Structure 1
Amino acid sequence: MTISQLPQDLIEEILYRVPVTSLRRLRSTCKGWYHQALFKDPRFIKKHFDKTAKQYHALMLFGNTVCPMSSVVDRVMRVVSIYPHRLALPHRDEFVSLSEAFHCDGILLCSLLMKTMIVVWNPFSGQTRWIQVTQLQDHYIGAYALGYNNKELCRSYKILRFRCQYVKLAASWGWGALNVTPEPEGNIISEIYEFSSNLWRNLDSVLPDQAYLKPSGGVSLNGNTYWMSCNKKGDYSLLSFDFSTEKFQRLCAPFHHEPCHIDTRVLSVVREERLSLLYQSRKTLEVEIWMTDEIETTFVSWSKFLRVDLLGLNHCFSDSMSFSIIDEEKKVVVCCDEAGNFDFTMVWIVKEGEEYRASPDISVDGGVQAWSIPLLSVPSLFGYVPKN
C-alpha cells in the first residue's frame, strides 16, 4: 500500500507534522495533494500551523539575500552566515533592498529602489507577490507595514502604506513626520492593501496628534505593527497599528526618564512572542534592553532584560542598527550596525556583564572574507519561523 492509498484523514494527520519546507518538496511526490488544493485548504493550513514543530531561525538580510545566522557562544564569538536564500527578480536590472524589508509571520515585505513596486516574499517556500504602488512626490517617502486580522480563523493579510516626510529632531536625522489624516486637497495620505481583494483603498484612521517615527523601524507581533514614536512635545511612546480594527494606538514606553532625541531606540521581536526594545543613552553609552511581559489594546508592561556598558568602547549605536536576542537564558544579543568609518558593517555580540566584538570577517558564501557593505545596506537581523 502506498501513502496515497491511505485514508484521507490519516494522510492529513501525517502531513500536519511535516515541516513546511518539506511540504514544498512533496508537491512532486504526490501531485494530487497540491492540484486538489490540499496544501491551499485554509483548514489544512490552520491545523498544520498548530501541530507542526515551530523551527526558529535567526536570519540576516542584506542586498537581495537572506542568510541564516549560526552563532557559537563561547570565549571567542563568531557569526557565520550560510545557505543564502535569494529573491528571484522578474527583471535583472531591478534591485530588492532587503535592508528595508518588513517581517511578519514568516513573510517579508520588501521595498524596491524602483518606487512603483513592492514585493511580498516567503524565503522558505519561494512564493512571491509583486504589488504596484503609486509613486509619491519627491519630498515624501512611502513607509510600509505588513500585518493581518488576528480576529479571524484564517489570517487575512494586509499592507499599510503611509506617507512620511523626513524631518530633523535635534541632532538626529531620519525621523519621519507620520501623516495619516486626510488633506484638504484630497491627496492620499495612507492606504490599505488587502490580499483577498488584491486592491488598495484609503484609510480613515486618525492620530490624536502628529507622530514622528523611523519609517523603517516598525516590527510585527501577532498581526499588529509597532514603532517607537514621539510627538511635538518630545514625549516618547510605543505606537501600534491594529490590522483588525485598522486603528492607531499609543502605548507606554519603559523609560524611567525622558530620553534625548539623539539617544538610540530600536525595536525587535523575540521568537514571535514578545517585543524587545534596545535603548542606549548617547551621554552614558549604557545599553538597556527591555522586553514586554504583556500587551493589551491600551496597555503594555515591560521588564528589563539586559544592561551593558559600552563607555569603555566609546561606541553609540545608530538608529539604523538592528538586533536579535539569540539566547534568552544566557542573555546573549547579536547587534548589527555601521562601523565608525562607514566602510563596513560591524557585528557585535553583547552579553550582560561582558562585551564581544566580531571582526568584519564573515563567511557569506562558504569562505571567510572582509565584508564591506554600503551604509544604506546595513543588514537587518530578526527571528523567523517558516510558514506555509
Structure 2
Amino acid sequence: MTTTTMANLPLVLVEDILSRVPMTSLRAIRLTCKTWNRLLKNQIIGKKAATKNQFLGFMLIDFTICSMRFDLRGISNNDDDDDDDFIDQSVKEVSELYEFSISQIFHCDGLLLCVFNDTSSKTLMVCNMYLGQTRMIKARQLFDRFSKSGVYAFGYDDSEENRNHKILRNETNGGGYEIYDFRSDSWRLLDVAPDGDTNFGEKLSLSLKGNAYFFATEEYDETLLVDGETLYSRESRLRA
C-alpha cells in the first residue's frame, strides 16, 4: 500500500488546505518547511491572493478584534452559485487577542496597530498576525497616556528591503503631534501642525503603500481627503 505524506501532496491541494487555516494558526504551519512558508505568504499577501481578489481584513465588534476574509467580486465567483466556488466571508474572533478591549485598529503591511479601550492606557500594541507576535509600545513620557479617542496613523518608509514602520499620534485635546520610529524604538515630538481650521476625526485614517490618509473637515464643513507622509494642510506639512 502506498502512503502519501503531506510533503508529496500536489501544490494545488496544499494551497486549498492552507487557505482554510485561520490566520492565527499559521505560525506553526509556516515553520514546517520553506515551501509551505512561501505558499502561505503568496496566499495571504502575494500574487495568488491578488489574482483571486481575496483578502483578509480585520474589524472590531464590541471592542474585540475579528478577522474577515472577503472577496472583492462578491460572495460567489460565478453566476451558478456553485458551492465549490463559494468564498467563506464569515467573521471570526481572534482568540489570541480576546482578552484585550480595543477601541481602534489600523492595518498596515501585515501589521495591526491596536489602541486600547482605556483612557489611562500607557501602551499601544502592534500585532504581527502572521507570526503570532505582539509588541507593546510605551508612551514618550512617564505620565503620557494613549487616549482611545486620539488621532492615530500607521505607515512606513519607502525602502522595500528594510521597511521602517512608524506611528503618528495626536490627542484630541489639542496636544502636539509626535511620531514613533520602530527602528530606534523612540518617540519624536513634531514642531509643526496642520491648519487650525482643519479637524482630523478619530478612527478615520488608513494606510496605503506606507502613506497614511485622513478624512478631514474644515470649519465650513468641507470634507477633505488629506494625504501625507503622514499629514498635510494648505500651509504646512507633517512628515514622518
The two structures have a TM-score, normalised by structure 2, of 0.61
**For the Cα contact (< 8 Å) 1:227–1:240, is it kept in 2?**
yes
1:216–1:126 CA distance, 2 compared to 1 (3 A): same
Say which of 157, 165, 169 aligns to 1:161: 169
1:1-388 equivalence runs, <5 A: 25-27=29-31, 52-55=46-49, 56-62=55-61, 63-70=63-70, 72=75, 80-81=89-90, 84-88=93-97, 95-97=100-102, 100-114=104-118, 115-133=121-139, 134-136=143-145, 141-150=149-158, 153-165=161-173, 179=174, 189-243=176-230, 248-249=232-233
What is the rounded CA distance, in whole Å, between the counterparts of 1:23 and 1:126 in structure 2? 6
Gaps of 5+ in 2: 1-17, 50-54, 82-86
Cα deviation, residue 110, structure 1: 0.6
What is the rounded CA distance, in whole Å, between the counterparts of 1:156 and 1:86 in structure 2? 28
Larger mean CA deviation between 143-152 and 109-118 belongs to: 143-152
Structure 2 residue matching 1:124: 3-state secondary structure: coil
Structure 1 residue matching 2:193: 3-state secondary structure: coil
What is the rounded CA distance, in whole Å, between the counterparts of 1:28 and 1:147 in structure 2? 31
Cα deviation, residue 249, structure 1: 4.2
Q: Which amino acid aligns with 1:68?
A: M
Gaps of 5+ in 1: 1-17, 31-38, 166-178, 180-187, 251-296, 298-388
Cα deviation, residue 212, structure 1: 1.4
Tell me: higher relative CO, structure 1 or 2? Use CA pairs within 8 A at least 6 residues apart: 1
Higher helix proportion: 2
Structure 2 residue matching 1:218: 3-state secondary structure: strand
Structure 2 residue matching 1:214: 3-state secondary structure: strand
What is the rounded CA distance, in whole Å, between the counterparts of 1:164 and 1:237 in structure 2? 18
Structure 1 residue matching 2:31: 3-state secondary structure: helix
What is the rounded CA distance, in whole Å, between the counterparts of 2:80 and 2:29 in structure 1? 40
Number of aligned residue pairs: give it. Answer: 188
**For the Cα contact (< 8 Å) 1:104–1:220, is it kept in 2?**
yes
The two structures have a TM-score, normalised by structure 1, of 0.40
What is the rounded CA distance, in whole Å, between the counterparts of 2:204 and 2:47 in structure 1? 30
1:191–1:79 CA distance, 2 compared to 1 (3 A): same
What is the rounded CA distance, in whole Å, between the counterparts of 1:79 and 1:25 in structure 2? 21
| Larger Rg computed on CA atoms | 1
Cα deviation, residue 48, structure 1: 8.4
**Residues 181-206 of structure 1, C-alpha deviation per residue, up to 9 Å, x if partnerless?**
xxxxxxx6111110001111101233
Structure 1 residue matching 2:162: 3-state secondary structure: coil
Identity score, percent: 27
Structure 1 residue matching 2:184: 3-state secondary structure: coil
Cα deviation, residue 234, structure 1: 2.8
**Residues 243-274 of structure 1, C-alpha deviation per residue, up to 9 Å, x if partnerless?**
4xxx5246xxxxxxxxxxxxxxxxxxxxxxxx
1:54–1:161 CA distance, 2 compared to 1 (3 A): farther
What is the rounded CA distance, in whole Å, between the counterparts of 2:169 and 2:156 in structure 1? 14
